[in-house]
Structure 1
Amino acid sequence: MDFEEARPFLEKHHWCVLTTHQRNGAAQSSVIYSGAYQGNAAFVMVYGKSAKIRNLRRDPRCTVLNVTRDWSSWVSVEGEAQLFDYNNTESEQMRQLFRELFRACGDHEHPDWEEYDRAMVTQQAVAALVRPDRVYGLLRKW
């Protein structure tokens, strides 16, 4: 399977398990929301100091596993995460990226974009785009 085959599924099903690598090599998995954005798996970590972000800054390899709510179909994207935040990206570009990823990971608008923008700054949020090196899954009728 390639990313383009998986993209419609990722655009519709945002429930996800993100797996990163801890310093000792063990996997760390977390439940998040993700989606597809410009040929990448994408997600936003609201708390930029989370263990997931620390893991990705040290080792960008990760797996993004999106599932249907009944877990009957799934797509896994393995690749390296490129991280964006207000420390490495211009402020207006970051604001737009957070908004675009919010939409990509949830299919709806935020009720108060200004509040969302402030929260992303305050919480030192991080946006991640995962370049798909390997894509596989089980796409039953969804």
Structure 2
Amino acid sequence: MRITVTSVFVDDQSKALDFYTGVLGFVVKNDVPLGGEDRWLTVVSPAAPDGVELLLEPSSHPAVGPFKAALVEDGIPATSFGVDDVRAEFERLTALGVRFVQEPVDLGPVVVATLDDTCGNLIQIAQTVGA
């Protein structure tokens, strides 16, 4: 068994696509209309184009809004992305206007920072120390 697709609920798929590709640097893997404005919209890391896909999933289900709001209020990231150098990514993304709710913090085996994805989520970036 392996993970092939994981998702993050987004308030606006077009806005999310701009952020996740234009700012974070992911690339589109699938963009399939589902009727109405919703799409099966996935992105992947350019370093692993056949790797795990991130589905930018519409937040239309009634349970999603309160769930996302509770996570953000408590400072809990919706997901975590691995990076080679958290501090370098923090500098790069800050220069692009990304708002971080937690600057880089050394937690021993990992260094983490948490950003606002502009689509209703907090996203953690993490670097394994010594890796």
Give the TM-score, by structure 2 length: 0.31
* Structure whose residues are more often helix by fraction: 1
Give the TM-score, by structure 1 length: 0.29
Higher relative contact order (CA 8 A, sep 6+): 1
